[in-house]
Amino acid sequence: MKTILVATDFSETASHAAYYAVSVAMQIGFPRIILYHSYDIPYASSDIPLPEPDNIRQLHEKSVEFLEYLKNDLIIVAGKQIIIDIHTNESPLALAIETFIAEEDIQLVVMGTTGKGKIENILLGSNCLSLAKECTVPLLLVPYEAPVERIKRIVLATDLKEVAEISPVMTIKNLIHALQAKLFILNVDHNESEHYSPDIITQQSALHKLWDAENPEYHFTDHKDCAAGIMAFAEEKDIQLVIAIPKKYSFFQSLFHRSLTEKLAYHSHIPLLFIKKTQFLD
């Protein structure tokens, strides 16, 4: 049964991401969501006070109680269309997610991102950067400000390097078709001397060969910072979801660069979906 895994720390941001996940599941047609809480999460990130970790039994009971509250709230929105299960334990987040992916039909992991002055905090702490690079299924990061609405406009960010080799084409096409969304393809490159090099022309040709059948809009920007260029374009075109392929650390890291965090990733209302070539979202 195709399933979305939602990691939560019971904060408002995490709860919002769970509602967003329900909306995505209903739009795509996924029948199941797992709500998961790890005791390993720092309690300071939670808006709900939890017991101290020296009482594991009480901690487990309270976690189940809060998960049931969230589940019942989500059922009001999801109705009978989606099965919502809950799970909690003391496993480290990355290990827990890896286990769920191995044992359940997890097609998508959803987590909330938070701003409000917590510059480097993504839900569940600093693990998020490594999770986004290592997660073996697509990872969706949902800002607190992201509207819970039908996704109609998506942008795929590319740097026109190794286009055919790294693009998870079928995964993205399946997503576009399931959402019935309009696809925009954005190349971000500030090296003007390479714009018309033979390699760039070859990569542009490969890009068109891969995507022309989807009738996308192609756009190019030479912004010096790829994250700023992507987000500026997304704002201009009223994009509702940004897809990035974390093939290179430098490209991925720029989306979370400390100096850009407050004005881009964590204060943006646009969710970010990270998909690697080997991942599938059918």
CB atoms within 10 A of CB 231: 24
pLDDT at 85: 97
C-alpha span between 47 and 148 (Å, rounded): 21
pLDDT at 162: 54
pLDDT at 120: 40
What's the first-to-final CA gap in the chain, in angstroms? 12
Helix/strand/coil percent split, the chain, to 5: 40, 20, 40
pLDDT at 6: 97
pLDDT at 54: 60
C-alpha span between 260 and 265 (Å, rounded): 7
* DSSP secondary structure of 198-262: HHHHHHHHHHHHHHGGG-PEEEEE--SSHHHHHHHHHHHTT-SEEEE---SHHHHHHTT-HHHHT
Residue found by looking up tokens 């060969």 in the block:
209
pLDDT at 31: 96
DSSP-derived 3-state class of residue 131:
helix
Quick check: 156 and 247 in contact, CB under 8 A? no
pLDDT lower than 50: segments of the chain: 43-45, 115-125, 193, 249, 252, 256-267, 279-280
pLDDT at 241: 94
99 DSSP 8-state letter: H
Q: Which domains does the chain have, with CATH numbers?
A: 3-143 (3.40.50.620), 153-274 (3.40.50.620)
pLDDT at 48: 54
